[in-house]
Amino acid sequence: MNKRYGGIRMDSLLIKGKTVLEILASAGHDAYFVGGCVRDRILALPIQDVDIATSARPEEVMQIFPKTVPTGLQHGTVLVIVDHTPYEVTTFRAEGEYDDYRRPSEVTFIQTIEADLSRRDFTMNAMAMDQHFRLIDPFDGKGALREKVIRTVGEPVDRFREDPLRIIRALRFSAQLHFTLDDDTLQAVQASKAWIAHLSIERIAVEWSKWLTFADHHALDILQRSGVADELPLFAPMARVLPSFVQTKGVWTRMEERWAFLAILAKMDKEAIQSFLRRWKQSRALQNGVLSRIDAYHDAVKAGFTIGFLYQNDLTISQFAWEVCRHLQHAVPAWRDIEALYENMPIHHRKELAISGKDVLAWSRRPAGPWVENVLRRAEEAVLHGTVENSYIALQEWYDEHD
Ligand code: ATP
Ligand code: MG
């Protein structure tokens, strides 16, 4: 995926993105790579997505490219799709007056990339690169990357007052990049953290989920010095167990697992975790995923990794319960033995059962009712434990004998 460009390994996303810059330039506009992709390229990290800033107005961008989606016109953003790859193209803008710690309701389009960079949060995020991959770096973002520090563009207290989300973003980036906070920026975080109360929970949740994804001891140390955990709604019980939580960095692959493990460590009951997730406006699917994992852990502690447990929880959730048991020093079988047990089960889901409710109804000639579900459940049990073979004939015989 990587090509060499001027002696430097270049991410294929940037190589393709160069054409977007060239097309904008040939239509007479200025255009640059900006933000995270510039930072990550200098750090030689893989690039997730490419943001482009341009002097072209959104309507012009939509005229120039055949495939566009107006994803954020009110912020001047158009999604441009080139060769199946999406690029966020945003018109150079200033973020007018901030009102009551809220993001500005309207944006002002401006002429120069430098002015656009000056509204950005941190010096390392306020760099741009032109189509020849030349760096525009008015705030010495490169120096900050070299020092591994997070430093606001301009006076940190002012920038945090404008948008307190930057306080949480500073911590998120400290976790993601293993950077520290510049002294002034850290002091401003400590002084400004109460403004977090003005943010919508959705914006907090996006950044905080990333912090939880990347956090290690170093990130926790910065968090503790910042005092920010106290400002996160309903987070206090989880904040207390973060030292144990960060020991599992890299173990969890999904947010459901992180929230569930935190709730288990914090000994939150079902109601507490449910109100927490609702308050944090997490989706119903995520809420269910967290709750089923917590239940699975408690079941595993009570009854172990039995066939019944594996059937009920499937392999992914069982593995979560197993990992938690291990971290909490419960005795557990080797994971490969559990896997082997699972592989050897005669069925893994209801749909693998050789009969359905229809068959049971046909055999009984009784009207349908909750009893059918009961029969199916007993059939599953019998097949799972090897009492009956999983075939239509065997199950019909079993039914005739047991009904
Ligand atoms: P990553 O994509 O790796 O999470 P990123 O730097 O691209 O990092 P985004 O949240 O995607 O982060 O934001 C893109 C860019 O927009 C940032 O690099 C920064 O320049 C700017 N930005 C984002 N949020 C803010 C904010 N709250 N205040 C000021 N500038 C911001
Ligand atoms: Mg980004």
Residue 162 burial (CB count, 10 A): 21
Distance 32 CA to ligand 2 centre (A): 15
Q: Which of 72-76, 85-89, 132-136, 233-237 has the lowest mean pLDDT?
A: 72-76
Distance 34 CA to ligand 2 centre (A): 9
CA dihedral 158, 161, 166, 168 (to 10 degrees): 130
Instruction: Show Cβ contacts of residue 116 under 8 Å, excluding neighbours closer than 6 positions.
Output: 34, 53, 92, 93, 94, 110, 128
Question: In whole angstroms, what separates CA 295 from the centre of its chain?
Answer: 23
pLDDT digits (tens, 9 = 90+) for 25-58: 999 999 999 999 999 999 999 998 999 999 999 9
Task: Please name which ligand lies nearest the alpha carbon of 41.
Answer: 1
Q: Do the Cβ atoms of 287 and 293 come closer than 8 Å?
A: no
Q: Residue with the nearest Cα to atom 28 of ligand 1?
A: 121
pLDDT digits (tens, 9 = 90+) for 274-284: 999 999 999 99
Closest CA to 32 of 127, 165, 106: 127
The residue-averaged pLDDT of 242-267 equals 97
Q: Where are the alpha helices (DSSP H) in 148-304?
A: 156-162, 165-177, 183-192, 201-214, 217-226, 236-240, 242-245, 255-265, 270-279, 284-303
332-340 contacts at long range (C-beta below 8 A, 24 or more positions apart)? 332/305, 333/305, 338/305, 338/310, 339/315
The band of 6, judged by pLDDT with boundaries at 50, 70 and 90, is: very low
Question: What pLDDT score does 7 carry?
Answer: 43
User: What letter does residue 110 receive in the DSSP assignment?
Assistant: -
| Cβ(17) – ligand 1 distance below 6 Å | no
Fold of 1-147: Beta Polymerase; domain 2 (3.30.460)
Task: Please name which ligand lies nearest the alpha carbon of 126.
Answer: 1
| Cβ(207) – ligand 1 distance below 6 Å | no
Residue 197 burial (CB count, 10 A): 11
Fold of 350-402: Serum Albumin; Chain A, Domain 1 (1.10.246)
pLDDT digits (tens, 9 = 90+) for 120-166: 999 999 999 999 999 999 999 999 999 999 999 999 999 999 999 99
Instruction: Show Cβ contacts of residue 263 under 8 Å, excluding neighbours closer than 6 positions.
Output: 238, 272, 273, 276, 290, 294
Task: Please name which ligand lies nearest the alpha carbon of 39.
Answer: 1
Q: Is the pLDDT of residue 9 over 70?
A: no
Question: What pLDDT score does 103 carry?
Answer: 60
The C-alpha angle 395, 396, 402, rounded to 5 degrees, equals 85
Report d(CA 82, CA 195) in Å as an integer.
40
The band of 362, judged by pLDDT with boundaries at 50, 70 and 90, is: very high
Q: Which residues surround ligand 2, an ion (CB under 5 A)?
A: 36
Q: Is the pLDDT of residue 1 over 50?
A: no
Distance 13 CA to ligand 2 centre (A): 13
Q: Do the Cβ atoms of 36 and 73 come closer than 8 Å?
A: no
Question: What pLDDT score does 101 carry?
Answer: 59
Question: What pLDDT score does 11 carry?
Answer: 79
pLDDT digits (tens, 9 = 90+) for 202-217: 999 999 999 999 999 9
Q: Is the pLDDT of residue 2 over 70?
A: no
User: What letter does residue 379 receive in the DSSP assignment?
Assistant: H
Q: Is the pLDDT of residue 107 over 90?
A: no
Report d(CA 214, CA 316) in Å as an integer.
21
Question: What pLDDT score does 74 carry?
Answer: 87
Pocket test for ligand 1, best of 42, 101, 125 (most atoms within 8 A of CB): 125
The residue-averaged pLDDT of 264-286 equals 97
Question: What pLDDT score does 215 carry?
Answer: 98
Task: Please name which ligand lies nearest the alpha carbon of 120.
Answer: 1
Pocket test for ligand 1, best of 121, 150, 172, 210 (most atoms within 8 A of CB): 121
Helix, strand, coil percentages in the chain from 3-state DSSP, rounded to 5: 60, 10, 30
Q: Is the pLDDT of residue 105 over 80?
A: no
pLDDT digits (tens, 9 = 90+) for 377-389: 999 999 999 999 9
| Domain spans in the chain, listed from the N-terminal domain onward | 1-147, 289-343, 350-402
